[in-house]
Structure 1
C-alpha cells in the first residue's frame, strides 16, 4: 500500500488521523500543528495529489517521480527537498543494497517518500512519537530523525565491508584464483557507498548554516552536528577501505608477477640443466663414435685392404681409436661440455 501513514501532530502529540490525504493540510492548519505523511513507492497520481495539497515545487516532484537521484539538499522557497541513499548489508550474498528516500520538509509538513524497503521509517515514527519534546520542534525534528536513522544504518554496512576486506587479505596470500574478482566487485560496492555517504557532509553543513540563522534551533543544530560527526567517521572509514582495496589489488598483481618470475626462473634452470645434460651425452656419444668408426672400417672384411697385411696395423688401429677419443675428450672438456 503506497500510503504508509498520515498523521497530524500538535505540540509533539499525535492527534486523530485525517480521513484522507486531501484533508491533511487543512486539518494541520486548523489544529496549528504539522502533518507527517509517509508514502512507499507511490504512483504518479498519488504523488501529484500530495504535491497539489502542499504546493510542492514541480522540479522536486519531477525528481521524485524519476527516482535514481544522487544524495542532495535543495531549497524551494520555505520547503526543503532532501534525497538520501540508505544502505544495508546483505549477509547471505555479502553485498550492499541501496535504497532511496525523498523528504519534503516545509513549515507545517513533513513528507517522506520511500523507494526501497530500507530504512524502516515506521520505527523512526514510533521513536519520535515516544519523544514528544523532540517532535514538538516540528517538521525539522522529522528530518533529523530520518537522517539519524539512515546514518545509523550505515554502521552495519561498514562492519560488513570491513569483514570482507579482512577475508580478502587472507585470500591474497593463499593463492586463491578468485581473489582478483572479489577485490573488483568489492571496490565497486565501496565506490557506490562513497557516492551515498560523501554528499551528506555538504548537506549537513548547509543544514547547520540554515539553522544558525533561525531562532530556537540551537538544540536541533547540536543534533545535526552529532549526525555530521557520525557521517564524517563513516566517510573516513570508507575512504580507508578504498585505499586498502587499491593496495590489495597492487599486492595481488605483485604476487602474480613474482610467481610468474619464479616459474620462469624454474623453467630456465630446468632448461639449463637439460642443456648441460644434452651436452654431456652428445660429447660422450661423439667420443665413443670415433673408435666405433675405426673399428667399423677395419671390420668390413674386404679382401683388398692394405692395412690387413701390415705388421703394425693392429697397434695402429688401437692407437688411432685412443687418439681420436682422447682428442675429442680434450676438446669437449675445454668447451665446458664435460
Structure 2
C-alpha cells in the first residue's frame, strides 16, 4: 500500500500509519494506491475509510464488468484495461477507484497469473511519474482520477491501434492470396475480431458509467466536466472498435466467399473429370460391344467349319454333292443373321 500526499509543493510518500491524520487535514490531496487488496488493505478500506462491505468485497474479488456506485461522500468505480494474452485471449486488468472529497483510493484488482506483474499498476505508475516530473499537479480527486483513467483509455486506444494493424495485415493476406491454411487463417481472423469486440464492450460500458456519473449533483462543475469528457473518450473507443470490427467482418465474409467459390470450382473440375472418365468408359464399352459382336458373327462359321472338318468315316455329307455348298450357305446365313441382330441392338 502506497500513501501519498499531493499539495502545491508536489507529491510526497507518507507512511501508512499517518493515513488517518492525513485524511483529517484540510489541505492537500491524499492518494492511496493498493497494488493487491490483501487482508490488511481490506481492513484499511473498511476501518479507516469506512467503505461499504460490498465495495470492499468488489476490490478483493474480480469483477467481470465495469460498474459505478454513488455513496453519500464518495463514488466507487470499477474499470478494465485490455492486455493481450496467448492465442488471441484478452486479459481484463481491473482498476477500482474510491473518489472522495479529499482523497483517491486506487485498488488494482486480482489479475490472471499469466499477466506480467507490472501491467496491473501501469497506469498509476505513469501518472506518478508525470507528477514527480512536475508535468501534472492535480488539485482535486477527480483531476487525479481523470489523469489515471486517461492513461487507461490510452491503453485501450493502443490495443485498438494494434488490432487495426492486424486487420490490415489480414486483409492483405486475403487479397494477395497468401492466407495459407484456411482453418488456421479463419481462427486468426476470429481471434482478432474477439479482441476488437472485447475492447468495444469495455468502451461502451465505461462510457455508460461515466455518462451516468456526470449527472450526480454531489460532483463539482469541474468534476462533471472531466467526467463528461471521459465518457466521450470511452464512447470514441467504442465507435473506433466498432468500425474496425465491421471492416474485419467484411474481410471475413470476403475470405469465406473466396473459399466457397474455390470449393465450387474444385467441385466443377471434379465433375468434369468424372464426366470425362464416364465418356471414356462409355466409348470403351462400345468398342467391347463391337468386338464381342464380330467375335460372335465369326464364331458361327468357325463352328460349322470345325464340324465339317472332322475326319470321321461315317459322315453322310462326305458322299453328298450339295453338302459343301450348303455348309457355306449355312455359314453365310448364320453370320448375316447375327450381324442383323447386333446391328439392330446398336452394337455395330
Unaligned runs of 5+ in 2: 112-118
The 3 A distance-change label for structure 1 pair 119 and 287 is: farther
2:100 aligned to which of 106, 119, 124: 106
Q: Residues of 1 paired with 2:229 and 2:131: CA distance?
A: 14
The 3 A distance-change label for structure 1 pair 268 and 283 is: same
2:145 aligned to which of 134, 139, 143: 143
Which residue does 2:166 correspond to in 1? 164
Contact 1:37 1:112 in 2 (8 A): yes
Q: Does 1:46 align with 2:41?
A: yes
The count of residues paired between Structure 1 and Structure 2 equals 327
2:6 aligned to which of 6, 9, 12: 9
TM-score using structure 2 length: 0.77
Please identify, of 199-208 and 113-122, the stretch whose mean Cα deviation from structure 2 is larger.
113-122
Contact 1:144 1:223 in 2 (8 A): no
The 3 A distance-change label for structure 1 pair 196 and 266 is: farther
The 3 A distance-change label for structure 1 pair 270 and 62 is: farther
1:18 aligned to which of 11, 14, 25: 14
The 3 A distance-change label for structure 1 pair 277 and 196 is: farther
1:302-332 Cα deviation digits (max 9, x unpaired)? 6469799340533552564365346524532
1:10-63 Cα deviation digits (max 9, x unpaired)? 247324x3222x422421432522211112233233223233211111111111
Q: Does 1:189 align with 2:195?
A: yes
Cα offset for 1:140? 0.7
1:197-223 Cα deviation digits (max 9, x unpaired)? 221221231233337963344653564
Unaligned runs of 5+ in 1: none
Contact 1:40 1:113 in 2 (8 A): yes
Q: Does 1:297 align with 2:292?
A: no
Q: Does 1:29 align with 2:20?
A: no
TM-score using structure 1 length: 0.79
Contact 1:128 1:145 in 2 (8 A): no
Larger radius of gyration, structure 1 or 2?
2
Cα offset for 1:67? 0.8
The root-mean-square deviation of aligned C-alpha atoms, in Å, is 3.6
Cα offset for 1:130? 4.6
Q: Residues of 2 paired with 1:57 and 1:250: CA distance?
A: 52
1:251-270 Cα deviation digits (max 9, x unpaired)? 36634652563355245424
Counterpart secondary structure, 1:100: strand
1:271-305 Cα deviation digits (max 9, x unpaired)? 53244234323432333332243245235446469
